Amino acid sequence: QLQASGGGLVEAGGSPRLSCVVSGTIFSIGDMDWYRRSPGRPRELLATITSGDATTYKNSVQGRFTISKDNAKNTSYLQMNNLKPEDTAVYYCAADIQIDVRGSLRTYWGQGTQVTVSS
């Protein structure tokens, strides 16, 4: 139900934007998140945007990355600026989705998109 895109090979200093489209049966969407996993490192939460548009960031990306969303398109975005080689990772999106009025929010994951930053 989540499709991430926008990754690829980027030069250091580049500014790609990742997108995450939520599709399928949706009653409501709660928090939307972006994570990444670098080789040899655990998955880390980078940014969250709530249903009320409040945002939080991991300290190491604060000021360089911006999370946003378009409710009409059920899409979240991660604008990444001034990328560094250490930002190389697989980037994943996640969202808390309620699929019907009787259900509860459940976390769904996208498939990941590789971002490789060349020096």
65-77 residues labelled b (16+ CB within 10 A) or e (exposed): bbbebeeeebbbb
Per-residue pLDDT of the chain (119 residues; tens, 9 = 90+): 899 999 999 999 999 999 999 999 899 999 999 999 998 999 999 999 999 999 999 999 999 999 999 999 999 999 999 999 999 999 999 999 999 989 899 999 999 999 999 99
**Cβ count within 10 A of residue 80:** 25
Q: Write down the pLDDT at residue 103.
A: 87
Asked if residues 117 and 85 have their Cβ atoms less than 8 Å apart, the reply is yes
Percent of the chain with pLDDT over 70: 100
Q: Write down the pLDDT at residue 1.
A: 87
Q: Write down the pLDDT at residue 108.
A: 97
Q: Write down the pLDDT at residue 60.
A: 92
